[in-house]
Amino acid sequence: MIRLGIGAEHKKKLVLYSIGGNALSDPSKAKDLQDNEALKLVMQDVLDLLEAGFNIILTHGNGPQVGDLLSMEENNANNSRARTDLSTWVAATQGMIGHELSLELDSLLDIKSRPERTAVVLTRVRVDENDSAFANPTKPVGPILDKSMILDSWDVKLTERGLRRVVASPKPVEVLDLDLISKLVELGAVVICGGGGGIPISIKESWSGIPSVIDKDRFSSLLAVSLGVDVFITSTAIDQIEIGFGTDKSEKLSLIDIKTATEYLEDGEFPEGSMGPKVEAMISASSSLPESKILLCSPGNALRTLRGETGTRIITNS
C-alpha cells in the first residue's frame, strides 16, 4: 500500500483512531456532572492497539469546547460578537484538549513501561473560502441551549439533543501538516492531531484563518486517505451504525457496503449534524482505501471491532 508524505513506508501497520468530541464533553450535561469514563475507555483502546503492534494517530472533536470559549467571549463582551476569530478558538481547543490527552496517555505509557511518547501537532487544513457551507451553517458547537441563552448574532438549529448553536463547516481540502504527522509516526510517536477537524486556513498571497469549524470526521477521513492507513476507527457514543433510529423498526448494522450506506445517507437516515458526517467520512475512506478496515465503534471496543465481534464495518462490495 502506498502512503504519502515523508516516511511513507511505516514499519508497523497504522491506525487512525478518531475520538468523538462528546466523549470528551457531553453538551447535554452540566460541567459538574462530567466524568472521565469514556476517556478511560479511549485510553484503553489506545493501549490495546499499541500492544497489538500498531502505530497510532489520534484525532478528536472540539464542538462543546470551542462553543464554550466562543460564548464566554461574547458574553464578556456585553453580548456583542466575538473579537477573536473562530479559527483561533479552534487552535486554542486543539492545544487544550491535545495537552490533556497527552498527559493522560503519557502517564499510562509510563505505568505500562511502554517506549512510545505522544506528540501533539497544531494542525492546519486548507479550505475553500467559497465553500457553500458558509451560507448554510450546520456544525453544532457549545452546550444545549434554552431560549434565554441565545444571542441575536447566533445561528441556532434544533439537533437530536436540543437547541444548539451552529457555525459554518466547510469541507477540508488539504492537510497542510501532513508530512510532519507522517514523520512523527515514522519516529514511533502516538500523534494527536487535527483537533476539531483542524484549523481552517485559506491560502492566497499568505496563509490566514477562516472563521469556521471543519467537521472532525471529514478531516479524519481525508487524513486517513492521505496517509493510506491500514485501519480507520471512528469512536463515538453508539456501538454500531443504526437505521430507523428512534422507531420500532430500528436496526443495528455490523456490516454495510458502500452502495447501501450511500443510499441510506441520501435517504436521510443519518442526520447532517450527527451521524451523517461520520457515515460520509467512512464511505469516502472505504472508497479510497478498499483494502483497509473502516470501522465504527464505541470507546473501549477497538480490538473487538477489529475482530468483527461488535461495531460496524463499511466495505467496498457486499
CATH number at residue 81: 3.40.1160.10
Q: Determine whether 184 is exposed, middle or buried from the number of CB atoms within 10 Å of its CB (0-12, 13-18, 19+).
A: buried
The 10s digit of each residue's pLDDT in 105-129 is 999 999 999 999 999 999 999 999 9
Q: pTM of this prediction?
A: 0.86
Q: What is the pLDDT of residue 86?
A: 84
The 10s digit of each residue's pLDDT in 188-246 is 999 999 999 999 999 988 999 998 899 999 999 999 999 999 999 999 988 999 998 88
φ, ψ of residue 279 to 5 degrees: the values are: -65, -40
Average pLDDT over residues 14-41: 68
Query: pLDDT confidence of 85, banded at 50, 70, 90?
Result: confident
What is the spatial distance between Cα 92 and Cα 312, in angstroms, rounded to a whole number? Answer: 33
Q: Which amino acid is at 279?
A: V
Q: What is the pLDDT of residue 35?
A: 53
Q: What is the pLDDT of residue 34?
A: 44
What is the spatial distance between Cα 88 and Cα 200, in angstroms, rounded to a whole number? Answer: 9
Whether 140 is covered by a domain: the verdict is: no
What is the spatial distance between Cα 87 and Cα 251, in angstroms, rounded to a whole number? Answer: 38
Strands (E), 190-240: 190-193, 199-203, 207-209, 231-235
Share of the chain above pLDDT 90, in %: 59
pLDDT of 33 higher than 70: no
Whether 90 is covered by a domain: the verdict is: yes
What separation in angstroms does the CA of 17 have from each of 58, 63, 232, 244? Answer: 5, 18, 6, 27
SS3 171: coil
Give the side-chain half-sphere CA count within 13 A for 228: 13
Whether 131 is covered by a domain: the verdict is: no
| Cell numbers that stand for 207 in this block | 496563509
Domain that holds residue 68: 14-126+173-315
pLDDT of 6 higher than 50: no
Whether 143 is covered by a domain: the verdict is: no
Whether 156 is covered by a domain: the verdict is: no
pLDDT of 151 higher than 70: no
What separation in angstroms does the CA of 41 have from each of 72, 77, 91, 220? Answer: 30, 38, 26, 20
Query: pLDDT confidence of 166, banded at 50, 70, 90?
Result: confident
Number of domains in the chain: 1
Whether 142 is covered by a domain: the verdict is: no
**Angle 165-167-169 from CA coordinates, rounded to 5°:** 140
Whether 167 is covered by a domain: the verdict is: no
Higher-pLDDT residue of 69 and 46 is: 46
Whether 96 is covered by a domain: the verdict is: yes
Query: pLDDT confidence of 77, banded at 50, 70, 90?
Result: low
pLDDT of 1 higher than 50: no
